[in-house]
Amino acid sequence: MDVVAALVYLAILLSAALGVYLQRRQARAALAHRDAPPVEFAASVTLEQHRRSADYTIARMRLSICETLLEAGLAIAWLALLLGPLYALLSRVIAPGLTLSVAVVVAAAFVDHVLHLPLSLAETFGLETRFGFNRATPTTMLLDELKGAALWLLFAVPLLYGLLLALRLSPDYWWIVGFAGALVFLVAMTIVYPSVIAPLFNRFTPLADEELKARMEALLERCGFQSGGLFVMDASTRSTHGNAYFSGLGKAKRIVFFDTLLRKHTPDEIVAILAHELGHFKFGHVRQRLGLAAGVLFIGFLALHLSFSRGLASAFGLPDDPGVVLVVVMTAGAPILHLLSPLTNYLSRRAEFEADDYARAICGREPMVSALTKLSRDNLATLTPDRLYALFYYSHPPAPLRIAALGDEPR
């Protein structure tokens, strides 16, 4: 076996082993504290609610272990067994060239998605239904799948043709052009997604509560935030999970509240959540995330360039077709991204702490504490996560850490 191929297989196996180890740690932590909620939450989270959160965490970890093992198995299967026959099958009906290369990537993505569907169905109609979160129907999920597939083809196919054409015309510098194009696309999607893509899946309506809207608009003006509006998303059509988010750039900026969140929180808590989202704006976290994504894209395109020039596909006994190489790189790169997750999660958690601190300075500590407690309780988030698991998988700090960081008075 080629040394490079052996190292990739080893990385896939080690990444999967690490994932299973961390998921087992998380399940053990939830089980160990199932009958002992943190004392600081004794007045706001009942023992029954805490036990339910622990049961949800344990069940989710069992499903996550299955997913981790499936992904590792599929990664090895693609490189060792599936990709070669898939290329041979497509080459019988498509002549060598750009179209064949694009078809390989599209077909591999389609097959991989179909193989993941059973676990997606188990999560939605098994786990989420069992714990009272799921509101989606099979029809809703089917429509979402079809819309997602159509959008993926609409964007991915032209981008793949452009990328592979650049490779053909400029073998030495195509990756720089590809990086620039991907960066432009990323920024464009950040602007377009809130108002064009997201409404294809959910209904967004302007906030109707005039009193609450007036309080929010006063806060927006105080913080110097100009947005495209305050919107409510019909999240309850699919799930009872509550959330809120800030997205977009420039005049396309939007602040969105799940309708499930608005139903469960007081006006003071909702305004505090808004202040938290404004904290992301205040500290430029969207631009920071774009900068991080740009760095990852640059490294990814450089790695792709080296993979083309050094015949990475041949290390696995696969044809040196650009489409095949793309699939190999995406498959081999997953373990690396897994190992980098503590760094990206650290940056994300730091941003959350900053936004929390900003919200506390604007609205006070108590509304933020109450909002974070309710979000954690209603979403069945464990209050006793394993620290090492959180390092790899938590993009947001656990609620106990966020509340402890709020202290007593604004700094």
Annotated binding site for Zn(2+): 276, 280, 352
Where does the pLDDT of residue 40 fall: very low under 50, low under 70, confident under 90, or very high at 90 and above? confident
CA distances (Å), origin 235, targets 91, 257, 302, 344: 44, 9, 39, 27
- Calculate mean pLDDT across residues 158-172: 92
Please give the residue that has the higher pLDDT: either 170 or 286.
170
Q: Please determine, for residue 409, whether its predicted confidence score (pLDDT) is greater than 60.
A: no
Write down the domain spans for the chain: 3-200+283-406
- The phi and psi torsions of 82 (rounded to 5 degrees) equal -95, -40
Per-residue tokens: 145 = 């799948």
Annotated binding site: 276, 280, 352
Q: Count of CB atoms within 10 A of residue 381's CB?
A: 17
> pTM for the full model?
0.89
What residues are paired with 246 via a beta bridge?
255
Where does the pLDDT of residue 78 fall: very low under 50, low under 70, confident under 90, or very high at 90 and above? very high
- The phi and psi torsions of 265 (rounded to 5 degrees) equal -120, 150
In this structure, are residues 93 and 66 in contact, taking their beta carbons and an 8 Å threshold?
no
User: For position 72, what pLDDT does the model report?
Assistant: 96
User: For position 196, what pLDDT does the model report?
Assistant: 87
Q: Please determine, for residue 281, whether its predicted confidence score (pLDDT) is greater than 50.
A: yes
User: Which residue bears the tokens 């052009």?
Assistant: 177
In this structure, are residues 106 and 113 in contact, taking their beta carbons and an 8 Å threshold?
no
Q: Return the active site residues.
A: 277, 356
Where does the pLDDT of residue 309 fall: very low under 50, low under 70, confident under 90, or very high at 90 and above? confident
Q: Please determine, for residue 208, whether its predicted confidence score (pLDDT) is greater than 90.
A: no
- Cβ contacts of 276 within 8 Å, gap of 6 or more: 355, 356, 358, 359, 368
- Calculate mean pLDDT across residues 147-156: 94
Q: pLDDT by residue (tens digit) across 121-143?
A: 999 999 999 999 999 999 999 99
- Calculate mean pLDDT across residues 225-230: 77
Of 220, 165, 188, 182, nearest to 301 (Cα)? 182
Strands 254-258 and 230-233, bridge-based pairing: parallel
User: For position 289, what pLDDT does the model report?
Assistant: 86
Report d(CA 298, CA 279) in Å as an integer: 28
Where does the pLDDT of residue 396 fall: very low under 50, low under 70, confident under 90, or very high at 90 and above? very high
Q: Please determine, for residue 399, whether its predicted confidence score (pLDDT) is greater than 50.
A: yes
- Calculate mean pLDDT across residues 69-85: 95
Q: Count of CB atoms within 10 A of residue 6's CB?
A: 11
Where does the pLDDT of residue 105 fall: very low under 50, low under 70, confident under 90, or very high at 90 and above? very high
Q: pLDDT by residue (tens digit) across 369-395?
A: 999 999 999 999 999 999 999 999 999
User: For position 146, what pLDDT does the model report?
Assistant: 95
- The phi and psi torsions of 397 (rounded to 5 degrees) equal -65, 150
Where does the pLDDT of residue 252 fall: very low under 50, low under 70, confident under 90, or very high at 90 and above? low
Average pLDDT, the chain: 90
User: For position 1, what pLDDT does the model report?
Assistant: 63
The 3-state secondary structure of the chain, one letter per residue: CCHHHHHHHHHHHHHHHHHHHHHHHHHHHHHHCCCCCCHHHCCCCCHHHHHHHHHHHHHHHHHHHHHHHHHHHHHHHHHHHHHHHHHHHHHCCCCCCHHHHHHHHHHHHHHHHHHHHHHHHHHHHHHHHHCCCECCCHHHHHHHHHHHHHHHHHHHHHHHHHHHHHHHHCCCCHHHHHHHHHHHHHHHHHHHHHHHHHHHCCCEEECCCHHHHHHHHHHHHHHCCCCCCEEEECHHHCECCCCEEEECCHHHCEEEEEHHHHHHCCHHHHHHHHHHHHHHHHCCHHHHHHHHHHHHHHHHHHHHHHHHHCCCHHHHCCCCCHHHHHHHHHHHHHHHHHHHHHHHHHHHHHHHHHHHHHHHHHHCHHHHHHHHHHHHHHCCCCCCCCHHHHHHHCCCCCHHHHHHHHCCCCC
- Calculate mean pLDDT across residues 55-59: 97
Q: Please determine, for residue 325, whether its predicted confidence score (pLDDT) is greater than 90.
A: yes
